[in-house]
A and B are shown apart, each in its own frame.
Chain A
Amino acid sequence: MGEDRVWDSLKRDTDERMRKAAPLVKEGKIVAAKDTVALLEAVIRPHDKVNLEGNNQKQADFLAECLCKVDPSKVYGLHMVQSVLALPSHLDVFEKGIAKKVDYSFSGPQAGRLAQFVREGKIELGAIHTYLELFARYFADLTPRVALIVAYEADKEGNLYTGFNTEDTPVIVEATKFRQGIVIAQVNKIVDKLPRVDIPADWVDFVIEAPKPFYIEPLFTRDPALITDTHVLMGMMALKGIYGEYEVQRLNHGVGFFTAAIELLLPTYGEELGLKGKICSYWALNPHPTMIPAIESGWVKAIHCFGGELGMEEYVKARSDVFFIGPDGTLRSNRAFSQTAGHYAMDMFIGGTLQFDKYGNSSTATANRIAGFGGAPNMGCDPKGRRHVTGSWLKCGSEFGMQEQMLGNMPRGKKLVVQMQETFKEKLEPAFLEELDAWKLMKNANLELPPVMIYADDLTHIVTEEGIAYIHKCRTLEERMAAVRAVAGFTAIGLQADEKENAELREKGIVKTPEDLGIDITRANRSLLAAKSIKELVEWSGGLYNPPARFRNW
C-alpha cells in the first residue's frame, strides 16, 4: 500500500529550502545581517505558517523588519502565528501583502490599527488566544514552518543564550524544530563561549548578529508615585477581605496599579494584620519592581517568571533563593511554564479590568481596538482539571453557592478569581455597564464572540471602593446581579441597587463594605505604601534595581 506514498515530505521540503540558503552561510550557522532578507526569501514559501517571536517584553524586531522587506512576488499569503502584534512592522507585513492571516494573543499598541486592517480586509483574523492556548496550538494545527526568534547571544555552532528574557523561545523552537521546521535567530552578539545554553544548537538553523540590540518593553514597572489613595483603600480591603480571609499562599498579580498598591502594602498593612507567612509565599509573576519591599521584608518564598523586566537583572541575580536562576547565576524566565503554574498551581488570580456588565462578566475590550487577551484569562479562570487541594481552594469551593445545583452533594474546590476596578474610571467613564463594549467590538471586527477577559462564572470576587462582592457565594443569577449592583457605586447599574437588598447581602456576607471589614477609611492614604517612588524602590533594593531612564526622575 504505502509504497508510492512519500512519508517524509516535510523533511524533503526542508532540505530543499536549506540547500537554497546554504550559499548565505558564512561559518557554522552564521548569516550576515545584510543577507537576512535573502535568507528569508530562500527559506520561506508562500502560505507558510511563520512564527515571529515577540511578546509583551522582548521582540525579534530586526527579523520583523527584514520580513517586511522580502519580495511580495516571491513570499506572500503567509499565515503568521505569534504571541503579540506590538511593533509597527508586525502589521506592515500585512499592508505589503506578504502576510494574509494571523493567529495571535495580544496586541496592545497596535490594537487600533489591527481593528482597522480587519475591517478593510487586509488581515484575515484567525483567532485571539491566551498565550498558553496559542502555544498549545503550535503542537496541533498551528505548527510554524519557519520560526524567527530572538536571543541575547549565540556561538557559531548555533547554541543560544536567552537568559533573563527566555520567555517564549523554548516553546516556539520545540514546536517548530521537531516538526522539521526552520529556526532563525537574531542575536545581540555572536561569542565564542556562552554564559549558558538555553537552546541547543541542534534546534537552531541560522544565527544573525543584528545591527542593534533587540527591543524590550518594561511593561511591568509601575511607578509608586502614581498610586492613589483609592488604590490604597481597595488594596487594604483586598488584603483583609480576601488574602487574609482565604489565607492565599500561591497567586498571580495583574499588571495594574491596584495590585502594585497591594505589593507595597504587604510590608506595612499586611504586617499589621499579622499576615506575614500566612499569605503570598509563592508567585507566578514577572520580576515586578514593586515586589522589592515585600521580598526584602521576607514575605516571599519563590517567584517563577514569565519573562524578565528591564532593570531587575542584578536584583534578581542577587536573590537566587527567591527566583529561578541558571547555573550562570542569571534568571531563566519561561512563559509557557509560568502560565502553566498560573493556571494549575495558583490559588488566586487578582487584577484590574476596564468594564463589568450587570452579570459580572468583565472585559478590557473597547469598541475599536482588538487588544487580545495575553495571559489573563488563562490565570483568571477556574481550572477544571485541577485535583490537588489547598486550604484557600477548599474554602472558596465550600462557599460556592451554585455547587449543589451542579454537583449534588459532591465537594469540590474553587480558584479565587478577583477583579478590581473603581466604579468610575478617569474622565468619569463608568466601569459598570448594561452591556460590555466587547459586543460592539464583535460587530466592528466581525468576531464570532464578544472578547471577554473573565467570564462571570469564573469570577469569584469583585473589589470596588464601595466594597467586596463575594459573588461565588450567590445561589442564583438574580442574587449575583444584586451583588454586582451593590458594589457598582453611582453608576447606572449601581443606582438600580435596592437598599433592603443590599442590607440582606451584607447580612449574608455576600457583600462587605470597608466598615463591615473593619477598615478605617481615613487611613487609606499613600503614606501606608512601603515605597512611594521609584527612587525608594532603588533604596529598598540596596541599589541593585536599575530602573530604565524613563522612570528616573530624580
Chain B
Amino acid sequence: MALNELKFEYKNEKSVSIKKEWSHLGVVGSGDMEVLMEKKDLGGAVQVKVVTPVTGFDKVWNLVLEKFIKSSNLGNVSIEINDNNATPVVVSMRLRQALAEANKVNGGEE
C-alpha cells in the first residue's frame, strides 16, 4: 500500500493553541485514523501533515481541515494525521475529539 504525504498550512487572525504540550487520539484501524497534536511556535500558523493511502482527495482533505481549523480558531499547533481510509465524516469527528482531548488539563475539562 503506497502512502501519500500531504502537507497543509492555515492561519487564523487571533488564534489560540492547545492546552497540553502534546496529545494523541485514535487508532489507525480500517476506516479510521490517529491524530497527534503538538504545541509549537509557528508564528500563529497551524501545520498539518497527512499520511494516507487514498489518492485524489487532496481537495477534500483541504476543505475538511480548513473548516475545522477555522471553526476551532487554532494556532501554533502542529498536527499529524495517520489515515487508513477514514471518510471525511470520521476525519471531522476525530479532529474535534482530538482537540477536546488536547485541551484537557489534569484529566479535567478546559
* Genuine A/B complex: yes
Asked whether B89 lies within 8 Å of A424 as measured between CB atoms, the reply is yes
Nearest A residue to B90, CB-CB: A230
Question: How distant is B91 from chain A, measured CB to nearest CB, in Å?
Answer: 9
Kindly state the separation between the CA atoms of A425 and B100 in the bound complex, as whole angstroms. Answer: 26
Residues of B within 8 A of A53 (CB): none
Kindly state the separation between the CA atoms of A490 and B66 in the bound complex, as whole angstroms. Answer: 12
A522 in the interface (beta carbon within 8 A): yes
A428 in the interface (beta carbon within 8 A): yes
- The residue that A489 contacts in the complex, of B85, B89, B97, B101, with Cβ under 8 A, is B89
Residues of B within 8 A of A463 (CB): none
Question: How distant is A214 from chain B, measured CB to nearest CB, in Å?
Answer: 36
Nearest B residue to A524, CB-CB: B93
Asked whether B88 lies within 8 Å of A423 as measured between CB atoms, the reply is yes
Question: How distant is B84 from chain A, measured CB to nearest CB, in Å?
Answer: 12
Kindly state the separation between the CA atoms of A424 and B90 in the bound complex, as whole angstroms. Answer: 9
Question: How distant is B97 from chain A, measured CB to nearest CB, in Å?
Answer: 5
Question: How distant is A79 from chain B, measured CB to nearest CB, in Å?
Answer: 44
A228-B31, A521-B96, A521-B97 known; A465 vs B89 contact (CB < 8 Å): yes
B60 in the interface (beta carbon within 8 A): yes
A422 in the interface (beta carbon within 8 A): yes
Nearest B residue to A490, CB-CB: B88
| A508-542 interface (Cβ within 8 A of B) | 521-522, 524
Asked whether B87 lies within 8 Å of A422 as measured between CB atoms, the reply is yes
| A436-490 interface (Cβ within 8 A of B) | 464-465, 489-490
Residues of B within 8 A of A230 (CB): 87, 89-90, 93
Q: How many residues does chain B have at the interface if contact means C-beta atoms less than 8 Å apart? A: 17
- The residue that B89 contacts in the complex, of A422, A427, A522, with Cβ under 8 A, is A422
B42 in the interface (beta carbon within 8 A): no
- The residue that B60 contacts in the complex, of A229, A490, A521, with Cβ under 8 A, is A490
Residues of A within 8 A of B89 (CB): 230, 422-424, 464-465, 489
- The residue that A495 contacts in the complex, of B63, B93, B96, B101, with Cβ under 8 A, is B63
Question: How distant is B54 from chain A, measured CB to nearest CB, in Å?
Answer: 7
Asked whether A465 lies within 8 Å of B57 as measured between CB atoms, the reply is no
Question: How distant is B65 from chain A, measured CB to nearest CB, in Å?
Answer: 11
A120 in the interface (beta carbon within 8 A): no
B47 in the interface (beta carbon within 8 A): no
Residues of B within 8 A of A233 (CB): 93
Nearest A residue to B96, CB-CB: A521
Kindly state the separation between the CA atoms of A267 and B108 in the bound complex, as whole angstroms. Answer: 26
Asked whether B63 lies within 8 Å of A465 as measured between CB atoms, the reply is no
Asked whether A490 lies within 8 Å of B64 as measured between CB atoms, the reply is yes
Question: How distant is B26 from chain A, measured CB to nearest CB, in Å?
Answer: 10
- The residue that B31 contacts in the complex, of A426, A495, A521, with Cβ under 8 A, is A426
Kindly state the separation between the CA atoms of A345 and B93 in the bound complex, as whole angstroms. Answer: 37
Question: How distant is A518 from chain B, measured CB to nearest CB, in Å?
Answer: 15
Residues of B within 8 A of A427 (CB): 85
Kindly state the separation between the CA atoms of A425 and B93 in the bound complex, as whole angstroms. Answer: 15
Nearest A residue to B54, CB-CB: A428
Question: How distant is B29 from chain A, measured CB to nearest CB, in Å?
Answer: 10
Kindly state the separation between the CA atoms of A423 and B57 in the bound complex, as whole angstroms. Answer: 15
Residues of A within 8 A of B97 (CB): 521-522, 524
Kindly state the separation between the CA atoms of A363 and B85 in the bound complex, as whole angstroms. Answer: 25
Residues of A within 8 A of B96 (CB): 521-522
Kindly state the separation between the CA atoms of A233 and B31 in the bound complex, as whole angstroms. Answer: 16
| B65-110 interface (Cβ within 8 A of A) | 85, 87-90, 92-93, 96-97, 100-101
Kindly state the separation between the CA atoms of A233 and B63 in the bound complex, as whole angstroms. Answer: 21
When each residue 208-237 of chain A gets 1 if its CB lies under 8 Å from chain B and 0 otherwise, what string results?
A: 000000000000000000001110010000
A230-B93, A490-B60 known; A522 vs B87 contact (CB < 8 Å): no
Asked whether B93 lies within 8 Å of A424 as measured between CB atoms, the reply is no
Nearest A residue to B97, CB-CB: A522
Asked whether A424 lies within 8 Å of B87 as measured between CB atoms, the reply is yes
Kindly state the separation between the CA atoms of A522 and B99 in the bound complex, as whole angstroms. Answer: 9
Kindly state the separation between the CA atoms of A424 and B57 in the bound complex, as whole angstroms. Answer: 12
Residues of A within 8 A of B64 (CB): 490
Residues of A within 8 A of B63 (CB): 490, 495
Asked whether B88 lies within 8 Å of A489 as measured between CB atoms, the reply is yes
Asked whether A465 lies within 8 Å of B54 as measured between CB atoms, the reply is no
Asked whether A465 lies within 8 Å of B93 as measured between CB atoms, the reply is yes
Kindly state the separation between the CA atoms of A229 and B97 in the bound complex, as whole angstroms. Answer: 11
Kindly state the separation between the CA atoms of A233 and B89 in the bound complex, as whole angstroms. Answer: 11
Residues of A within 8 A of B88 (CB): 423-424, 428, 489-490
Kindly state the separation between the CA atoms of A425 and B90 in the bound complex, as whole angstroms. Answer: 11
A490-B63, A490-B64 known; A428 vs B87 contact (CB < 8 Å): yes
A-B pairs, top 6 by smallest CB distance, nearest first, are A424-B87, A522-B100, A465-B89, A490-B88, A422-B89, A522-B97
Given contacts A522-B101, A524-B93, 9 further A-B contacts (CB under 8 A): A228-B31, A229-B90, A422-B87, A424-B87, A425-B87, A465-B89, A465-B92, A465-B93, A489-B89
Residues of B at the A interface (CB closer than 8 Å) are: 31, 54, 57, 60, 63-64, 85, 87-90, 92-93, 96-97, 100-101
Residues of A at the B interface (CB closer than 8 Å) are: 228-230, 233, 422-428, 464-465, 489-490, 495, 521-522, 524
